[in-house]
C-alpha cells in the first residue's frame, strides 16, 4: 500500500493476501475508517483494507532481488512509499509521479512536489518509472512534472472553476480531469 488515499487501498481485500504498508499509512487508513464502494453502495469494512504487515524503510531482498523501500514526504500526500529496484533500473514512484495526468494539488504543496521531483531526477540509474497515475514512463517525466507544478503554482488561486479551465487549456491531452473536480470540491466546497 503506497499511501492512504482510497484509490490506492480500498480494493485491497479482493486480493486476499497480506497487505504491506508503512506504519504511518496504516494509521491514516485506520483513522479514516470504513468506506463504501461508490458504484454499488456496498460497505467496505476497515478490516479488509487495513495493512497487516509493516514496511520498514531500507533494503529487503525478495527472491534474490533487492527492494529498497523509501518513505517520502511532501507533494501529493504527506507520507508515501517509493520502491527502488536499482538492479533493474526501475523506480516504483507511486503518486510522486503522474504521467500525462493532472496532478492532485489538494494540499497546495508545490514546494514538496518540486523537492521530490528534483530528488528523484538526480537519481539517474532509473530508466523506467512507474507512476501512481498514468502509463509507465522514463526520466523525461521529471521536466514535464516540473512544468506542470510551475503551472499549478501560477494558476491555482481561489476559484476552482477558473483553475480547471486554465490548467486543462494548458494541458489538453492530460488525463484525470476528474481529479481536479474532486480536489476542487475539497478546496473550494461542492458546486451548487
Q: What is the CATH number of the domain that holds 137?
A: 3.60.15.10
Give the highest mean pLDDT range of 1-5, 33-37, 47-51, 158-162. Answer: 158-162
54's enclosing H/E stretch is strand 53-54
Which residues 6+ apart lie within 8 Å of 170 measured at CB? 151, 155
Give the span between the Cα atoms of 12 and 157, in whole angstroms. Answer: 36
User: How many structural domains are present in the chain?
Assistant: 2
Query: Is residue 72, in this structure, part of any structural domain at all?
Result: yes
Q: Which domain holds residue 17?
A: 1-55
- 7-11-13 Cα angle (round to 5): 150
Instruction: Tell me the per-residue pLDDT of 88-132, one tens digit each, with 9 for 90 and over.
Output: 999 999 999 999 999 999 889 999 999 999 999 999 999 999 999
Q: What is the pTM of this model?
A: 0.90
Task: Tell me, yes or no, whether 45 and 76 share the same domain.
Answer: no
Amino acid at each position: 500500500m503506497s499511501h492512504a488515499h482510497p484509490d490506492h487501498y480500498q480494493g485491497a481485500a479482493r486480493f486476499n493476501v497480506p497487505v504491506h504498508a508503512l506504519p504511518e499509512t496504516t494509521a491514516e487508513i485506520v483513522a479514516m475508517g470504513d468506506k463504501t464502494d461508490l458504484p454499488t453502495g456496498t460497505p467496505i469494512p476497515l478490516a479488509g483494507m487495513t495493512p497487516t504487515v509493516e514496511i520498514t524503510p531500507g533494503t529487503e531482498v525478495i527472491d534474490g532481488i533487492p527492494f529498497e523501500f523509501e518513505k517520502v514526504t511532501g507533494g501529493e500526500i504527506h507520507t508515501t512509499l517509493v520502491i527502488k529496484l536499482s538492479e533493474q533500473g526501475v523506480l516504483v514512484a507511486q503518486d510522486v509521479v503522474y504521467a500525462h495526468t493532472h496532478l492532485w494539488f489538494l494540499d497546495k504543496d508545490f514546494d514538496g512536489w518540486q523537492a521530490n521531483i528534483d530528488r528523484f531526477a538526480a537519481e539517474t540509474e532509473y530508466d523506467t518509472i512507474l507512476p501512481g497515475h498514468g502509463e509507465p514512463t522514463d526520466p523525461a517525466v521529471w521536466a514535464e512534472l516540473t512544468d506542470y507544478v510551475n503551472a499549478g503554482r501560477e494558476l491555482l488561486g481561489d476559484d476552482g472553476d477558473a483553475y480547471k479551465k486554465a490548467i486543462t487549456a494548458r494541458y489538453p491531452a492530460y488525463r484525470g480531469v476528474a481529479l481536479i473536480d474532486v480536489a476542487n470540491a475539497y478546496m473550494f466546497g461542492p458546486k451548487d
